[in-house]
Amino acid sequence: MPDYKLIGKNYTTSELRAKVTGRAKYAEDFRAEGMVFLKLLTSPMPHARVRSVDTSAALAMPGVEGILTPDDLAEIEAPNEAGLTYEPLYEGEPVLAVAAVDEPTASAAIEAIEIEWEVLPFALDPLDSLRPDGPNARLDGNTMQDRELATVKWSDREASELDEGRVPTTGLFTDEWVVGDLDTGFAAADLIIDESIYHQSMGHQPLESRSCMAYWQNGKVYVYGSTQSTARTVGIVARWTGVEQENVVLVAEYCGGGFGSKAAGALSMVFPIAMSRKIRKPVMMRISRREENAIGRARPAVQLRAKLGFRSDGRLLAMDLFSVGDGGPYGRSGDFLSLGNIASLIYQPEAIRIRGLNVYTNTPPRAAQRAPGGEQAVSMLAPLMDRAARELGVSPTEMIRINAPSGQAKFGAPGRDGAQGNASSAFVVEALDKGMAEFGWAERSRRSGERRGTKATGIGVALSSFSAGSSGMDGLAVLRPDGMLQLHTGVGNLGTESFSDCARAAAEALDMPWERVELVWGATDRNLPWSAMSVGSQTTHAHTRANWALGLDIRRKLQEIAAGDLGGAPADYDVADERVFRRGSRGQGLSFARAAERAIELGGRYDGHELPEDINGMTVASATALAGRGLLGVAKDNFDTGGRVMSFVVGFAEVEVDVETGAIQMVDYVGAADCGTVVHPRLLGSQIHSGGIQGFGIALSQKWVYDRRWGLAVSKRFYNNRPPGILDVPHERPMGWVTADEPDPFNPLGAKGIGEPAIGAASGAVLCAIADALGGEGQFYRSPVTADMVLTKLEQLPAPHGRLVNHV
């Protein structure tokens, strides 16, 4: 590993003080002259049609500024979501928006609106909708088949399998892919496990809701929103509002979390934008927690049948998956199918097939949530791998080792050429070994199943993976005549700090002290370069590449300027200590400040008046605006790629299960990551642990609950849909983390992302630990595992609902 000065070192990001002192401005902190407030009228039913609506009394109220209706928004083709609708498909779906001088007036105006509803059938559970006489969530079908809305119903025979808690293998599935020969694999298997498993839906629940303020001025729309991505949100806002991208100004310096639900803004941003255009005033929309619970997106539930065939040494020979996804009411969620990609990567089965379908339900819209599909794969399959290990007499860690991917492992659905893609790198075994040492696996495994009074100890381990990077982005910076490096980034500041961490790659390339770097981010009128979406853990890999390319571009220009002024060839010059100087003669050179002045004098490509042809149009516009201010560095990441960038986390958990109360307590957790070169250790640790804590929630507490008679959610608040909090983390000692410390060969710095796989590693490890604590009685084939489930199983009580039932 090179001896980096910045990469791999802890530091304090420039905006941290603002965050901890409350000076940071989030979307709802902004104000504008003449601003009014918007509130939403939402559906009280899971599926209904507005027969009539009378807004006259509301409009007549003093202080009411206007009402936005579905007719004010662009028409959207089914099954996509318009934002406002006269046929709401879930409880809490916005129907109208009312603007008024203040929120009390807007709320009172909503109560003055008379609406007559026609109640329509609803479906809460995909499996209910697939039954022969089951309801459809949409009037135009319950799934997508061959890119068209369609209705799929299974037979009575298949329904009877559902009654027995199994996903039928004979039902119609709309999607399928296969690699290898399943029959051969199962024929050679010494152990076959065939189970149906349920994974819950769960809201993203970022602490900052998707509030937004917007106004129009001189043909431009100014949007103060909460979004994970900065540069990439502009295009989608432009599409929603029907204006050119250059007429969208997005201000989003801070984002209080998104987890995928605010990937490029949120559809709800369109409400204040459209209302502001309609009433010609700035409009603030503050989204309540209750509204966030409805419109804030969610991870899809999956009901899965998994048949796994193992050799006696634990090697997975064949994996056959039948997957039903809860698609919510709109779009086309892919988690039900993409889980197969991750399963094929982390377990490397010699043959794999996945068949599945996505079924619409009258529950909140779904979106990618931290490791979409990947987390479900680990949470549902890791307990089966663990059970197989137990039955085969193989240790759980050896089970991971024998099936682990390594190097440029192939995985996933075959492409059009019939071949699978590959990972750019995989150092799973290295992470596993380091994790085992950090966790003290050998010692702890002796406590497996140990009872102390009523407390049973369990330990669990699970391997998780997900995407960890993209490529082809741009880097942009100005080396100013004052010697400062003004570095621009369009990466969003969503709490991961990657927007800042990645910028250090450019400074590293220039041997530039971080204190001499001024970071520009968070508003699209600040000349930002084309940047990756801040989703899928892309940015660390993508923007260390782009900013390394940027650093090299500035370095080359410095060398050329020095050679031009001082003689010799550019290669004769080196860069360090904020100077470009002749090798072997440090006194012969230019300071960065002087070189920046010379760049302005030279013009052309040195100060940005000539730009490379391969950079994105957004970068061109930004670089053009910055031209002439110093030495302009701009470059596209054209480094080699070597497959899909995937990172890995092995999670190790210890739990205590009280067999008298069913209570499950986290005792300890360690995450061991293969994430390439460590860029920022403290933030890496926080990603491994924060993903881990979300994973604890999947395993132990977080879920939706719906009344099946009325189709309405009863768990709308934090305290009853139960995402985990800081008091739910292990108390015995601080959670640990380690890394494989192996650079990715397809990143000049070796870096990969990490946010995604951290979640499944924890949920899988905790579910395995519960199983371990309770021995043969510890498999629930369902998440989360709660005290009532433990007690019901231990006391051999009749289960109040079937294994696969949704939202109970």
**DSSP labels for 785-796?**
--HHHHHHHHTT
- Which range in 190-198, 377-385, 455-463, 660-668 contacts another protein by CB under 8 A? 660-668
Residue among 122, 198, 606, 706 that touches another protein (CB under 8 A)? 706
24-43 positions binding another protein, by CB under 8 A:
39-42
Task: Compare residues 22 and 798 and give the one whose CB is closer to another protein.
Answer: 798
Task: Compare residues 106 and 600 and give the one whose CB is closer to another protein.
Answer: 106
In whole angstroms, how close is the CB of 259 to another protein at the nearest point? Answer: 17
End-to-end Cα spacing for the chain: 50
In whole angstroms, how close is the CB of 133 to another protein at the nearest point? Answer: 17
Residue among 138, 166, 716, 752 that touches another protein (CB under 8 A)? 716
Work out whether 717 is an interface residue with another protein (CB under 8 A).
Answer: yes
Task: Compare residues 334 and 695 and give the one whose CB is closer to another protein.
Answer: 695
Residue 176 contacts residue 186 (beta carbons within 8 Å) = no
Backbone CA torsion sign across 616, 619, 625, 627: negative
What is the total count of residues that contact another protein (CB under 8 A)? 58
Task: Tally Cβ neighbours within 10 Å of residue 445.
Answer: 17
In whole angstroms, how close is the CB of 440 to another protein at the nearest point? Answer: 24
Work out whether 207 is an interface residue with another protein (CB under 8 A).
Answer: no
Type of residue found at 320: D
In whole angstroms, how close is the CB of 721 to another protein at the nearest point? Answer: 10
State the greatest distance between any 2 C-alpha atoms of the chain, in Å, as a whole number: 87
Task: Compare residues 493 and 783 and give the one whose CB is closer to another protein.
Answer: 783
381-410 positions binding another protein, by CB under 8 A:
none
Task: Compare residues 96 and 684 and give the one whose CB is closer to another protein.
Answer: 96
Residue among 180, 791, 802, 803 that touches another protein (CB under 8 A)? 791
Work out whether 727 is an interface residue with another protein (CB under 8 A).
Answer: yes
Helical spans, DSSP H, in 522-660? 539-566, 592-602, 617-626
Alpha-carbon gap, residue 674 to 579, rounded angstroms = 36
Backbone CA torsion sign across 556, 562, 567, 572: negative
Residue among 151, 588, 663, 681 that touches another protein (CB under 8 A)? 663
Task: Compare residues 621 and 791 and give the one whose CB is closer to another protein.
Answer: 791
What does the radius of gyration of the chain's CA atoms come to, in whole angstroms? 28
In whole angstroms, how close is the CB of 22 to another protein at the nearest point? Answer: 16
274-303 positions binding another protein, by CB under 8 A:
288, 290-291
- Which range in 118-126, 258-266, 708-716, 740-748 contacts another protein by CB under 8 A? 708-716
- Which range in 414-422, 444-452, 571-579, 700-708 contacts another protein by CB under 8 A? 700-708
**DSSP labels for 8-71?**
T-----TTHHHHHHT-SPPGGG---TT-EEEEEEE-SSSSEEEEEEE-HHHHTSTTEEEEE-GG
Alpha-carbon gap, residue 195 to 174, rounded angstroms = 21
Helix, strand, coil percentages, rounded to 5, for the chain:
35, 25, 40
Work out whether 586 is an interface residue with another protein (CB under 8 A).
Answer: no
SS3 625: helix
- Which range in 266-274, 503-511, 567-575, 655-663 contacts another protein by CB under 8 A? 655-663
Residue among 191, 708, 802, 803 that touches another protein (CB under 8 A)? 708
Residue among 246, 728, 802, 803 that touches another protein (CB under 8 A)? 728
Residue among 174, 247, 395, 792 that touches another protein (CB under 8 A)? 792
Type of residue found at 362: N
Task: Compare residues 37 and 548 and give the one whose CB is closer to another protein.
Answer: 37
Type of residue found at 251: V
Task: Tally Cβ neighbours within 10 Å of residue 616.
Answer: 17
CA-nearest of 671, 242, 181 to 432 is 671
In whole angstroms, how close is the CB of 793 to another protein at the nearest point? Answer: 10
Residue among 220, 715, 802, 803 that touches another protein (CB under 8 A)? 715
Task: Tally Cβ neighbours within 10 Å of residue 401.
Answer: 17
Task: Compare residues 44 and 617 and give the one whose CB is closer to another protein.
Answer: 44
Work out whether 714 is an interface residue with another protein (CB under 8 A).
Answer: yes
Task: Compare residues 564 and 800 and give the one whose CB is closer to another protein.
Answer: 800
Work out whether 87 is an interface residue with another protein (CB under 8 A).
Answer: no
Residue among 230, 524, 687, 786 that touches another protein (CB under 8 A)? 786
Task: Compare residues 583 and 717 and give the one whose CB is closer to another protein.
Answer: 717
Q: Is residue 44 reached through a cis peptide bond, with omega within 30 degrees of 0 on the bond before it?
A: no
Cα separations (Å) of 481 from 601, 629, 656? Answer: 11, 8, 61
Task: Compare residues 157 and 290 and give the one whose CB is closer to another protein.
Answer: 290
CA-nearest of 185, 150, 127, 145 to 305 is 127
Residue among 391, 638, 720, 775 that touches another protein (CB under 8 A)? 720
- Which range in 169-177, 404-412, 443-451, 785-793 contacts another protein by CB under 8 A? 785-793
Residue among 589, 724, 736, 753 that touches another protein (CB under 8 A)? 724
**455-467 and 451-452: which strand pairing?**
antiparallel
Residue among 200, 358, 701, 783 that touches another protein (CB under 8 A)? 701
Alpha-carbon gap, residue 133 to 267, rounded angstroms = 34
Q: What's 304-358 look like in SS3?
A: EEEEEEECCCCCEEEEEEEEEEECCCCCCCCHHHHHHHHHHHHHCCCEEEEEEEE
Binding map of another protein across residues 96-125, x = CB under 8 A, - = no contact: -------xx-xxx-xxxxxx----------
For 104, the enclosing helix (H) or strand (E) is helix 103-111
For 707, the enclosing helix (H) or strand (E) is strand 706-707
Task: Compare residues 219 and 453 and give the one whose CB is closer to another protein.
Answer: 453
Type of residue found at 393: G
Residue among 238, 718, 802, 803 that touches another protein (CB under 8 A)? 718
Work out whether 145 is an interface residue with another protein (CB under 8 A).
Answer: no
For 249, the enclosing helix (H) or strand (E) is strand 248-251
Residue among 10, 80, 312, 661 that touches another protein (CB under 8 A)? 661
Residue among 281, 722, 752, 782 that touches another protein (CB under 8 A)? 722
Q: What's 375-431 look like in SS3?
A: HHHHHHHHHHHHHHHHHHCCCHHHHHHHHCCECCCEECCCCCCCCCEEECCCEHHHH
In whole angstroms, how close is the CB of 52 to another protein at the nearest point? Answer: 12
CA-nearest of 578, 539, 501, 519 to 6 is 501
In whole angstroms, how close is the CB of 88 to another protein at the nearest point? Answer: 12
In whole angstroms, how close is the CB of 774 to another protein at the nearest point? Answer: 15
435-454 positions binding another protein, by CB under 8 A:
454
Q: Is residue 329 reached through a cis peptide bond, with omega within 30 degrees of 0 on the bond before it?
A: no
Question: Which residues are near another protein by CB under 8 A?
Answer: 39-42, 44, 103-104, 106-108, 110-115, 288, 290-291, 454, 660-663, 700-701, 705-710, 712, 714-720, 722, 724-728, 786-789, 791-792, 795, 797-798, 800-801, 808
